[in-house]
Amino acid sequence: MNMRNFLPLAWLAAIVLATGCGKPKSSTTGWKINDTKNGGFMANLKFKGQMTGPGLVFIEGGTFTMGRVEEDVIKDWNNIPRQVTVSSFYMDEHEVTNLAYREYLYWLERVFDLEYFPEIYRSALPDTLVWRDKLAYNEALVENYLRYPAYNFYPVVGVNWEQAMKYCAWRTDRVNEMILIEKGVFYPLNDQRDADHFDTEVYLYLSGEYTQQNKKGLKDYRPNSPYGKEGRPVTIEDGILLPKYRLPTEAEWEYAAYGNIGNRQFDRLYEGNKFTWAGNSMRTSEGKSRGDMLGNFKRGRGDNMGLGGWLNDQADITMQVKFYPPNDFGLYDMEGNVAEWVLDVYRPLSFEDLTDFRPFRGNEFTTFDKDYQGAGELTVLQEPQVDQNGKIVRLPGQLPVRPVTEQENLNRRNYQYSDYRDYLDGDVESSIYYSKDVPSGEEPMYDYNKTTLIGNTIRVVKGASWKDRQYWVSPGTRRFMEQTVATDWIGFRCAMDRLGMQNDLKRKKTSKKPKRQKFRPYRMSK
C-alpha cells in the first residue's frame, strides 16, 4: 500500500485503540469528547473525507506549466509559460446545460414574487438574442434553444459572468439544503417564499432562523436522526455541508483541461498534452476513432459540421454534453462545444505577477454588514441589495455584505484593502505614489473603453467553442470579455474546493482508451 494512503488509516486506528468502546478523551485536557454530560465539546472524529457534490468530478491537483506550450499564432504574448501548483478541487463533469439552468429559473420564479421582485427573475434570464446575426437566419435558435426539449442537454449560452456566479451561489444552497433533508436535519418545505428560503451562510451564522424547520415533523420524517431529537443545527465542525460551488480559476481550468495524468516518471512529466484529447485515442493510430474529430469546433471557414453522410463532429452549433469522449480526468467538452467563463480578472501579463501557488487575480474581500440599514446586528435581507449601478448583488434571505475597510486591517501583513483586482499591474491606484485623498474620478485607474479594453470587470474566457478553429482548443490559450456581456459561444461549468487530504482514496481510475462514442440521448444519473 502506498505509504501516504496508509498514514490516515493508521491514525484513525490509533484513536480507536486509545479510546476503546467508550467516549474518546481529549489528549490535551483528558475531558471526554462528544459527551453532553461531561463538558459537551463536540467533534466529528469519524470524518471520512469530503463528499463529492452532485455533478462534480474529483481533480487531483499538482504542478504544471501554465501558459503557452506551442506557437503563439495570435502574437498576443499574454500567456507566458510559468510553473505553478494547483490544489486538488472538484469540477463539473460537463458544462451547465439548458435543463439545469431552467431548474434555476423555475426556482427563482417560484420563490420570489414576480409582482414584487420582477427584476430577480428577469436578471437571471439568458440573452436568447445572442443567436441573431445580421447576415444569417437563426430565429429558430432564438425561439427554441433554451426551452425546447431537443436542447435539454446542450450547454446553456447567453449567460454572462455575473449570471454564472449567481447560479453557482444558488446551486450551493440547493445542494446543502438537500443534504440536510437527507440527513434528517430538515423537514422538506415547499412554501419557501421571498426572504424565507434556505441560504447556507444564513444557516451557519444565524441558525435560529431555521429553528422551526429543524424541529418540524422530524420525529415522523427521520425518527433516528441524531439532530432531530434536539433540533440542533448542523455546524461547520460536523463536516456535512459542502463548500461553495463557484467558477474555476483560470489555473484550475487549464490544469483540468490538459488532463496530464499517467505520463510521468517519478515526479517528472515526460509527455505533456498540448490539447485535451482523451488518452491516446487521437494521438496514435490505435482505435476506431482514428481520424475522427473528438471535440466540437470549427474545421475551417464554412465548415461547421462536415459533409452529409459523414459529419466530422456531428454538430452544426453546440452539441449535447457527454457526446464526445472525456479527457483523462473524466471531464467532457473541455476541447470545444462552448468556451467557458472562469473566475479571473484578465491582464495580459498576469503570469508575471501572480503567485506560483493557487494563482488567481480578482480578489475582493468582504465581510458581513452588521449595520446594514441600521439593524445593528446580523440579519437577513428583506429586500434585494443593489450596488451603485442599481444591479442586484444579494437576494432577499441572504446576509448583507460590504467591502472590508483599511481601518479594520491596520495590523495585517497579508492584505489591507478590499479590492485587489488591479494589484501590481502598473495602474495609478496600485502604485506607491497614489494618494487615497485624491477625489474619486480625478485619477482614473484606466481609460476603459477609450484607450484600452482592459479593466476590473474584464474576465478571462478559456477553451474553444463550436465557432472556433483548433488553435483555441489548446488549454494555454486565453481570451477576455466584459463580465456583463453574453454570447452564443460562451457557457460555464462550476467548481468546488477540496478540503483536507489532496488525494481521493476512493477515486476510480479513468480509462485511457475510451471507446468510440455513438449518438445517444443524454442520460440523467439516478
DSSP letters spanning 116-133: T-HHHHHHHS--GGGG-B
Q: Which residues contact 362 (CB under 8 A, 6 or more apart)?
A: 343, 344, 345, 420, 421
User: Mean pLDDT, to the nearest integer, of 240-263?
Assistant: 91
Helix (H, G, I), strand (E, B) or coil at 13: helix
pTM, to two decimals: 0.86
> Which of 133-147, 173-187, 255-269, 270-284 shows the lowest mean pLDDT across its residues?
270-284
Mean pLDDT of the chain: 81
- Cα separation values, 179 from 182, 202, 242, 488, 507, Å: 5, 16, 9, 34, 21
| Burial class for 378, CB neighbours closer than 10 Å (0-12, 13-18, 19+) | middle
**pLDDT value for 158:** 98
| Cβ pair 68, 82 in contact under 8 A | no
CB 95 within 8 A of CB 256: no
Q: What average pLDDT does this structure show over 99-119? A: 94
Confidence band of 259 (pLDDT split at 50, 70, 90): confident
> Do the beta carbons of residue 401 and residue 366 sit within 8 Å?
yes
Say how far apart CA 223 and CA 364 lie, in whole Å.
44
> Does residue 41 form part of some domain?
yes
What average pLDDT score do residues 143-149 get? 97
Looking from the CA of 364 toward its CB, the CA atoms found within 13 Å total 10
Do the domain assignments include residue 352? no
Gap between the Cα atoms of 109 and 48, Å rounded: 38
427 and 433 in contact (C-beta within 8 Å)? no
Q: Which three cell numbers stand for residue 500?
A: 483536507
Higher pLDDT, residue 380 or 93? 93
- The pair phi, psi for residue 89, each rounded to 5°, is -155, 180
Q: Which of 24, 12, 93 is nearest to 58 (CA)?
A: 93
State the average pLDDT over residues 78-85: 90
Instruction: Determine the Cα–Cα distance for residues 231 and 210; give it in Å rounded to an integer.
Output: 9
- Report pLDDT for 193: 84
42 within a domain of the structure (yes/no): yes
Q: What is the pLDDT of residue 232?
A: 62
**Overall average pLDDT of the 435-456 stretch:** 59
Is 57 part of a structural domain of the chain?
no
Comparing CA positions, the residue from 317, 243, 310 lying closest to residue 495 is 243
Alpha-carbon distance 483 to 166, whole Å? 13
pLDDT in tens, 397-442: 999 999 999 999 999 999 999 999 988 876 555 555 555 554 444 4
Report residue 328 as a C-alpha cell. 483523462
Residue 348 contacts residue 354 (beta carbons within 8 Å): no
Is 96 inside any structural domain? no
pLDDT band at 511 (very low <50, low <70, confident <90, very high): very low
Domain total of the chain? 1
**Cα three-residue angle 372-377-380, rounded to 5 degrees:** 65
The strand ranges marked E within 419-520 are 458-462, 479-482, 490-491, 495-497
Could you tell me the residue range of the domain that residue 29 belongs to? 1-46
Q: Which range (45-59, 210-224, 238-252, 361-375) has the least confidence?
A: 210-224
* Separation between Cα atoms, residue 92 and residue 329, nearest integer Å: 11
pLDDT at residue 286 greater than cutoff 70: no
Task: Give pLDDT, residue 437.
Answer: 52
For 291, counting Cβ atoms within 10 Å of its Cβ (0-12 exposed, 13-18 middle, 19+ buried), the class is exposed
For residue 272, how many C-alpha atoms fall within 13 Å in the half-sphere facing its CB?
Answer: 20
pLDDT, residue 415, reads 93
Please calculate the CA angle 212-218-223 and round it to the nearest 5 degrees: 160
User: Is residue 34 assigned to a domain?
Assistant: yes
- Pair 94, 493: CB distance under 8 Å: yes
Q: What is the pLDDT of residue 261?
A: 78
Range ranked top by mean pLDDT from 131-145, 175-189, 303-317 = 131-145
Looking at residues 27-31, what average pLDDT do you find?
89
C-alpha to C-alpha distance for 385 and 379, rounded to whole angstroms: 13
CA distance 522 to 155: 12
Predicted local distance difference test score (pLDDT) of residue 340: 98
The pLDDT assigned to 372 comes to: 82
Lowest-confidence range among 242-246, 270-274, 344-348? 270-274
CA–CA gap between residue 223 and residue 220 (Å, rounded):
6
Q: Is residue 37 part of a domain?
A: yes
Question: Which residue in this structure is represented by grid cell 446594514?
Answer: 372
**For residue 14, is it within any domain?**
yes
Would you say residue 50 has pLDDT above 70? yes
- pLDDT bracket for residue 451 (50, 70, 90): low
**The pLDDT of residue 508 is above 80:** no
Locate 127 and state its grid cell.
Answer: 440573452
Hey, how many other C-beta atoms are within 10 angstroms of the C-beta on 136?
8
Mean pLDDT of 51-65: 94
Q: Say what the pLDDT of residue 313 is.
A: 83
pLDDT tier, 251 (very low <50, low <70, confident <90, very high otherwise): very high
What's CA 212's distance to the chain center, in Å? 32
**b/e per residue, 19-43, with b = 16+ CB within 10 A?**
eeeeebbeeeeeebbeeeeeeeeee
Q: Tell me the mean pLDDT in the region 188-200.
A: 81
